[in-house]
């Protein structure tokens, strides 16, 4: 891990950025305490394709019925009874 104080970070910013882009952890400190970590910007993930799970997921016809919702609420409030 590479650390730099504020003054050093101002004068060696290019060097610190190069180190971060090569995978090295770079932390900038203020008054001896770490305050910022330089990390490289990663590529945005590809947009998700719609319908990827089509035919792979099944949901019961009553998945959103009042009875099921009440049971879920009860389980959250009371918890599952011990076995």
Radius of gyration of the chain, Cα coordinates, nearest whole angstrom: 25
Domain boundaries, the chain: 2-38
Return the C-alpha torsion angle 34, 35, 41, 45, nearest 10.
100
pLDDT (tens digit per residue) in 11-41 = 999 999 999 999 999 999 999 999 999 999 8
- Quick one: pLDDT at residue 43? 84
**CA distances, 72 to each of 29, 51, 60, 69 (Å):** 48, 27, 15, 5
- Quick one: pLDDT at residue 83? 62
* pTM, to two decimals: 0.51
CATH topology of domain 2-38: YefM-like fold (3.40.1620)
pLDDT (tens digit per residue) in 44-83 = 888 888 998 899 999 899 999 999 999 989 999 987 666 6
């Amino acid at each position: 891990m590479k650390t730099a104080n504020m003054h050093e970070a101002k004068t060696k910013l290019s060097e610190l950025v190069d180190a971060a882009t090569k995978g090295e952890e770079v932390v900038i400190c203020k008054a001896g305490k770490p305050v910022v970590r330089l990390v490289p910007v990663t590529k945005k993930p590809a947009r998700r394709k719609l319908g990827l799970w089509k035919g792979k997921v099944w949901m019961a016809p009553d998945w959103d019925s009042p009875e099921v919702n009440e049971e879920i609420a009860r389980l959250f409030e009371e918890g599952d009874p011990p076995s």
